[in-house]
Amino acid sequence: MHDVWMVGPVILPVVWLVTAISLIIGFLFLRYFSPYKEKSHQIIRDRTANGVIFIIIGFYFGSIPLNMTTFLRDPLAVLSYPSGQYELIMGLLIALIYFIIQHIKKQAFMRDTLTALFFVVLVADFIFAFSTGSSGSTVTTESIPFPEHPTALYTMLITGTAAMLLVKTMQIPLERRAEYTLLTFIGWSFGKWTITSFEVTSHFFSVYVTDDFYLFFMLATAVVLILKIAIKKKQVIGWKN
């Protein structure tokens, strides 16, 4: 995880390259194998790619608004800060705002861009786990035949299962698809949160995060799901009346 490649005077952490390759494979899956592979879905794939770009920009430059006072005094010092969980969350918020704007403009519906992004993340997470082969804390029970918890294997199992479920949800009628997609995301987040209990340090790809990072997204998605179901029921009752 901490190996580096020297390209002339440039030092490239191997984990960055693994993350980039994982995301590229995720987009290749979205383009050629996912339910969004058709030519008619080009705008969804484009908006999803834009969302990932905004996440990356927010991640690498999010330290500026988070440390604005220091940035005004010494911008180079702030730009040299290593980005972490809060910068990642800022990037995710920027991408979410972008998706909302596209939804309002009816360029691409949020259910599609968020689902497409989820596809990319699942495939990339699977490839990243396979490539790094990370392990966690020491096993204290004889029921697991490993000296350390194989967290990469756990991630591959949970992510692979979530990806298969997500493909299945695309076959569900459109009016119920969003709820099942949210349930799949909740299940994946719960699985990733469970894995953090076996990790020495929790991470999202190469970004180190707190143990409650995935728990937050799981609970937030659960709230969205509950509100969505409640609104739909209210609409049905109003239609019947």
Instruction: pLDDT band for 97, please (50, 70, 90 cuts).
Output: very high
- 46's tokens: 């484009």
pLDDT the model gives residue 215: 95
pLDDT the model gives residue 108: 85
Min mean pLDDT across 19-28, 98-107, 142-151 is at 142-151
Number of domains in the chain: 1
Map 178-237 to HEC letters.
HHHHHHHHHHHHHHHHHHHCCCCCCEECCEECCCCHHHHHHHHHHHHHHHHHHHHHHHHH
Buried-state track 207-240, b at ≥16 Cβ within 10 A, e below 16: bebeeebbbebbeebbeebeeeeeeeeeeeeeee
Segment 152-169 shows an average pLDDT of: 95
Could you tell me which residue, 50 or 149, shows the higher pLDDT? Answer: 50
With a cut of 70, say whether residue 11 has pLDDT above it.
no
pLDDT the model gives residue 42: 95
Q: Average pLDDT of the chain?
A: 89
Instruction: pLDDT band for 1, please (50, 70, 90 cuts).
Output: low
With a cut of 70, say whether residue 32 has pLDDT above it.
yes
Query: H-helix or E-strand containing 131?
Result: helix 110-132
Percent of the chain with pLDDT over 90: 59
Q: Are residues 189 and 217 in contact, defined by beta-carbon separation less than 8 angstroms?
A: yes
Segment 121-146 shows an average pLDDT of: 86
pLDDT the model gives residue 136: 84
- 25's tokens: 């494979």
Percent of the chain with pLDDT over 70: 93
With a cut of 70, say whether residue 238 has pLDDT above it.
no
**What phi and psi values does residue 161 have, to the nearest 5 degrees?**
-65, -45
Instruction: pLDDT band for 162, please (50, 70, 90 cuts).
Output: very high
Which residues span the domain enclosing 170? 4-240
With a cut of 80, say whether residue 22 has pLDDT above it.
yes
Could you tell me which residue, 86 or 136, shows the higher pLDDT? Answer: 86
pLDDT the model gives residue 120: 97
